[in-house]
Amino acid sequence: MVSYSSLMPNDTDPRIEAFLVEGYRRMSAPQKFERVSALTRSVQELAMLDVRRRYPNAESREHALRVASRWLSAKVMHDAFQWDVEEAGY
């Protein structure tokens, strides 16, 4: 089993790490869910910004497919959206 502390960056002061872990332990399940949801939305927004930067002339559907292809398998992208990751890229 991987300990939580082994997942933290090595540059985190142990006192700060203990403070963070205690804060997470005090959170209710809905609070933890909201925190994870907010982080997920942030990652998706960053991915969309990257796709828009790389493909500024693409339409919004293509942008959305490129973002989705970062999370979904090539098979799912092909079967569900007819998007060939090998041909079109991410």
Helical H runs in 1-90?
A: 14-26, 29-54, 60-68, 74-81, 85-88
User: Number of C-alpha atoms within 13 angstroms, CB side, residue 54?
Assistant: 13
DSSP state of 8: S
For helices 60-68 and 29-54, give the axis angle rounded to 10 degrees.
120
Residue ranges per domain, the chain? 13-88
Whether residue 67 contacts residue 47, with contact meaning beta carbons closer than 8 Å, is answered with yes
Per-residue pLDDT of the chain (90 residues), as tens digits, is 556 656 655 788 889 989 999 999 999 999 999 999 999 999 999 999 999 999 999 999 999 999 999 999 999 999 999 999 889 887
pTM: 0.72
